[in-house]
Amino acid sequence: MTRQWVSMLAGLALGLALALAGPAWAIGFDPAFTTPLLGPEAAKGIVVWSHGRSRDAEDSEAATPPYLTALRADRWDVIRFDRLREGDTLAASSRVLAGEAARLKQGGYRRVALAGQSFGGFLSLIAADESDAVDAVIATAPAAYGRFDDISDRWRLNAIRLYPLIEAVKRARVMLFFFHGDDFDPGGRGEHARAILARRGLGFAVIDQPSYLIGHGAASSGAFLRRFGPCVRDFADSDGLSHEFTCTPSWGSAPSAELSLPPELTSPLKPAAFAPAGSSEAAVEGDDGALPGGVEAWYGFYPNGREVLLAIESHANGVLRAVYAIGPSIDGRFPAKWARRRGHVVDGEFVFDEPGKNALRFRPRPDRGLAATWIAQNGNGTLSAVLWRIDPGELARRD
């Protein structure tokens, strides 16, 4: 049977599965991406992603999180479990999800993984308790009982009800992500979850408040894909894992080889040292056209997963001359690029607002980093990032 026929039949089976189940609130199981499904024989396995449940929006219309492209690229099929919020309950939806996991395993998929955001994370864990067909669960910001600013105190149930769930999961490996600044997180869940999962004797991973990722929806960002996509992929591939899986992402800690820069900045012969006692403010107070130790550089990344670098090369007569560089987009549509920019200091900020170009503003932080803001030329979009100061010599040592 050709791959095209395998993909077509797999897609038809997925569409029919929920139609047979019949709940009116469930939209169905559909491919998560436009690329064809490989089918049970060719795929490493299949991932079923479950979205959250909002009070005033249909999360079934939310985009598939980019991190799942790491599994698709690793030859996993990826589908979505879409539901309408009215009638979407933990008991009913988890029952349907568990049934679909069993059908997929019976249909020939060697591995079945359940992934879920927020309410979908709870669904995935409950379904993994109800069905022994589930091999792995990836739950990001799991929550199903409200947020901290609700009148009631039900948000604490996002911890109280989570612990029995992860203890009861039958045989699946469990990977949990908890984020700093999550309004649905009562706090302390990482430590308790790790202790519970360690007693099970099955593979697990707990990534608790990782750096640079903030908020309940952090797993839907391009930055999450860049930092944790490979970890999620490797965890899903880890058959037979019986201990804690260690995830130590390196992306974003230093400029990568994907970041395009002018050769003047990457030459190892260029003076790389900068005055360690100087501050970013002091570096631009002079008016002699030179900075202490040569170039000063700051590095970070935007939430969409594009690296960003600012390298100030000179300051003279109130004018800043700098290189601004961004890395490629996560979908490959936009390549890495750099440009020389001309700016000035306004109320302590570095401002680059040349006519006909996107505006850039950099506000010095107490930690000697910069709070960066990119403003679209037409004013219809902004991006923010935190950049930290780096030794310009790192630009010649990119991996």
Which of 237, 254, 288 is a domain's end point?
237
Residues 25 and 153 occupy one common structural domain: yes
The answer to the question of residue 52 being in a domain is yes
Residues 219 and 135 occupy one common structural domain: yes
What is the Cα gyration radius of the chain? 24
Which of 237, 271, 297 is a domain's end point?
237
Query: What pLDDT does 12 receive?
Result: 42
- pLDDT tens, per residue, the chain with 399 residues: 444 444 444 444 545 444 445 566 667 899 999 999 999 999 999 999 999 999 888 999 999 999 999 999 999 999 999 999 888 999 999 999 999 999 999 999 999 999 999 999 999 999 999 999 999 999 999 999 987 777 677 889 999 999 999 999 989 999 999 999 999 999 999 999 999 999 999 999 999 999 999 999 999 999 999 999 999 999 999 999 999 999 999 899 999 999 999 988 887 645 444 333 334 444 444 444 444 447 899 999 999 999 999 999 988 887 999 999 999 999 999 999 999 999 999 998 999 999 999 999 999 999 999 999 999 988 889 999 999 999 888 888 876
Structural domain boundaries enclosing 366: 263-396
Distance CA 237, CA 289 (A): 54
Query: What pLDDT does 278 receive?
Result: 37
pTM: 0.87
Query: What pLDDT does 22 receive?
Result: 56
Residues 359 and 291 occupy one common structural domain: yes
End-to-end CA distance of the chain: 43
Query: In angstroms, how far is CA 64 from the centroid of its own chain?
Result: 11
Residues 230 and 311 occupy one common structural domain: no
The answer to the question of residue 187 being in a domain is yes
Q: State which amino acid sits at residue 125.
A: L
Instruction: Report how many domains make up the chain.
Output: 2
Residues 345 and 197 occupy one common structural domain: no
Find the CATH number of the domain harbouring 268.
Answer: 2.40.128.120
Residues 321 and 180 occupy one common structural domain: no
Residues 305 and 228 occupy one common structural domain: no
Residues 102 and 186 occupy one common structural domain: yes
Find the CATH number of the domain harbouring 173.
Answer: 3.40.50.1820
The answer to the question of residue 246 being in a domain is no
Return the structure tokens found at 295. Answer: 């170039």
Query: What pLDDT does 294 receive?
Result: 73
The answer to the question of residue 391 being in a domain is yes
The answer to the question of residue 207 being in a domain is yes
Residues 285 and 387 occupy one common structural domain: yes
> In this structure, which long-range contacts are made by residues 194-201, counting pairs with CB atoms below 8 Å and at least 24 apart in sequence?
194/244, 196/163, 196/166, 196/167, 197/166, 197/244, 198/244, 199/167, 200/167, 200/169, 201/242
- φ, ψ dihedrals at 181, nearest 5°: 75, 20
Residues 232 and 268 occupy one common structural domain: no
The answer to the question of residue 140 being in a domain is yes
The answer to the question of residue 243 being in a domain is no
Return the structure tokens found at 280. Answer: 């970013």
Distance CA 280, CA 325 (A): 19
Nearest to 252 by CA among 295, 216, 303, 293: 303
Residues 36 and 129 occupy one common structural domain: yes
Residues 144 and 48 occupy one common structural domain: yes
The answer to the question of residue 95 being in a domain is yes
Query: What pLDDT does 295 receive?
Result: 86
